[in-house]
Amino acid sequence: MRSIVCALALSAVVGFVVPVQAGGFAGPCNPAANGGADWCDDFESYPTGNLHGVNRWQGWGPGSGDASVAGDVSIAQNRTAGGSQSVQIASNDDLVRVFSDYTDVNADFYTLTSYVFVPNNSSGEMFWIVLNQYDGGGAATNWSLQLNMDTDAGIVTNEGENQSELPLIMGDWVEIRSEINMVTNAHLVFYGGNLLAATSWTEGSSGGGILDIQAIDLFSNGSSQFFYDDISLFGGEIPEVIPPSVACQLATVTEEGCGDFLFEVENLNLTAPISTFYLDVEAGTGGAICTEDNIDPPAGFTVENCTQWVDGHAMFRLTGPAFLPGERVSGRIVVDTNGSEATDVPAFSVVLTVAQDQVDAVCAAGDFSFGPTGTGDWGSITSTCTAFSPVPAMSQTAKLALMTVLLAGGALLVIRSRRPVAA
């Protein structure tokens, strides 16, 4: 079977909506007044200039660190409401905030949030790093998270376990958020509201770490200037946030001209199993039922077409045996892909989106409001997974040539230089 694999991830809730801890704060930074944050910093109370030695900020290095690589408090950019300052990182800056006042992790769950501003026309690599151990960069220093914002490639990459990437957003403030479960050692990383990575906390980057949060590191690998603001660390109870993910693979097109696609759903949950989810299928105006039973659900699952087909769009509800965090279920769908006519769906493709069940949702023909692509506000972050069928008009030789080009292009995205796990 020839295949191109793509993946997406999203978050949803089970049973009832438990909002993710709101990022940022109104300012000035006040833990008691801002959602009970254990720690937060909006850089508003500091004089402009070098931040070394101020409120446990210091340049990377042993002991008290190296002042020459500490970033600067700047008025060039600001995110805090009513504020005027942020921290500027550039060139070889390597600014660390050491949590020496926060040595004992005593909550089950933590939300670490920061906002980053990468100016348009920036150059170089910019990093957001979180360390579970920090001894000034010595042998005991251990990375849980290293995000590389590569302005030249236009991507942000989670470097380490389960390496993954998203498009880099420039010219605007973007949220970076970690959801850290200290009980199960699970770690979810969000960039701009989209799930970027799901890893363990202790093995997330350099491996062999501990269940602690000892420092954050704002590092420039010779880049132009960029900015951080409104950084906070919340501790509390484990929420009911569950983000499943879906991957799709291309199978051969049937004699009837239908696209034959495989899909896989993985439970990246922090706490609970999944037993019901929705699979939204968009195939453009050409979408139709190719066979009497055009979806083979995962083993043990029943399937219901909630909406019926509407202009190449249908939503299925699948219910079956619960699968645990880290487990996957897979199925198959056969559907007409759209032709070359202009639609919101790429030609000769199918777009799959997955999310969990919504409380009290009732299937109704043509009603997509409570599904993965719906407009209802039910706490789901959605993305798409697109797989392409072979172009019918192309010869087998041409198809193979196109596949080679596509796979080579994908390889170039994966096989690229990575900054070693060191600051």
* pLDDT single digits (tens) 392-402: 333 333 333 33
Q: How confident is the model at residue 228 (pLDDT cuts 50, 70, 90)?
A: very high
**What's the mean pLDDT in 213-232?**
96
Query: Which DSSP letter does residue 310 get?
Result: B
Q: Which residue has the higher pLDDT, 355 or 391?
A: 355
CB-neighbour burial class of residue 123 (10 A; exposed 0-12, middle 13-18, buried 19+): exposed
Question: Does residue 353 surpass a pLDDT of 80?
Answer: no
Contact 113, 232 (CB under 8 A): yes
Cβ neighbours of residue 398 closer than 8 Å, sequence gap 6 or more: none
Give the tens place of pLDDT for each residue, 146-179: 999 999 999 999 998 778 899 999 999 999 999 8
Least confident of 58-72, 74-88, 288-302, 377-391: 377-391
Residue 332's Cα: distance from chain center in Å? 25
Q: Which residue has the higher pLDDT, 326 or 420?
A: 326
Rounded-to-integer distance, Cα 296 and Cα 332, Å: 5
pLDDT averaged over the chain? 73
Q: Is the pTM of this model over 0.75?
A: no
Integer angstrom CA distances of residue 383 from 13, 205, 351, 380: 16, 25, 10, 10
Half-sphere exposure in the Cβ direction for 316 (13 Å, CA) = 22
What domains, with CATH codes, occur in the chain? 6-14+244-392 (2.60.40.1510), 31-236 (2.60.120.200)
Least confident of 53-62, 68-77, 187-196, 363-372: 363-372
